[in-house]
Amino acid sequence: MAEQWHIGGTYLESCNCEAICPCRRIGGRAGERSSYGVCEGALSWTIARGRAGDVDLSGLAAVLACRYDDDDDGELLRVSDGPLGFEVSGRCAYQSTFYYSA
């Protein structure tokens, strides 16, 4: 039997597109090309309350930094371990809350 879990908190995204980001998929409608041909941004989740079985997840956070070129068909994934530093000077941002459970 799968272990029960739940997380809830704040979601934030920001990128260099003009607001409202044309790349976003909204209501099932596919996103369009980015404002400047290259989209650079970050998505973050801060868990205000959460638990996986007996493990308290409250206070944890995750960030996904992304960059893609509208005209580049290549796929590249780089993952590094260690301190992560980044700065986003976004034009477009979106914030909401989330709650997931299983």
Determine the Cα–Cα distance for residues 89 and 44; give it in Å rounded to an integer: 15
DSSP secondary structure code for residue 29 in this structure = B
Is residue 36, in this structure, part of any structural domain at all?
yes
Query: Which residues, 6 or more positions from 13, have their beta carbon under 8 angstroms from its beta carbon?
Result: 41, 42, 43, 44, 93, 94, 95
Is residue 29, in this structure, part of any structural domain at all?
yes
Q: Which residues does the chain have with pLDDT short of 70?
A: 1, 74-90
Residue 41 is predicted with a pLDDT of 86
Write down the pTM of the prediction.
0.72
Find where tokens 């914030």 sit.
95
Residue 21 is predicted with a pLDDT of 80
DSSP secondary structure code for residue 39 in this structure = E
Task: Give helix then strand counts, H and E, for the chain.
Answer: 0, 5
Is residue 81, in this structure, part of any structural domain at all?
no
The domain containing residue 14 runs over which residues? 5-72+86-101
Is residue 80, in this structure, part of any structural domain at all?
no
Is residue 52, in this structure, part of any structural domain at all?
yes
Domain count, the chain: 1
Is residue 77, in this structure, part of any structural domain at all?
no
Is residue 79, in this structure, part of any structural domain at all?
no
- Torsion angle of C-alpha atoms 78, 89, 18, 65, degrees rounded to 10: 20
Residue 84 is predicted with a pLDDT of 57
Nearest one of 2, 3, 4, 10 to 60, comparing CA atoms: 10
Residue 50 is predicted with a pLDDT of 97
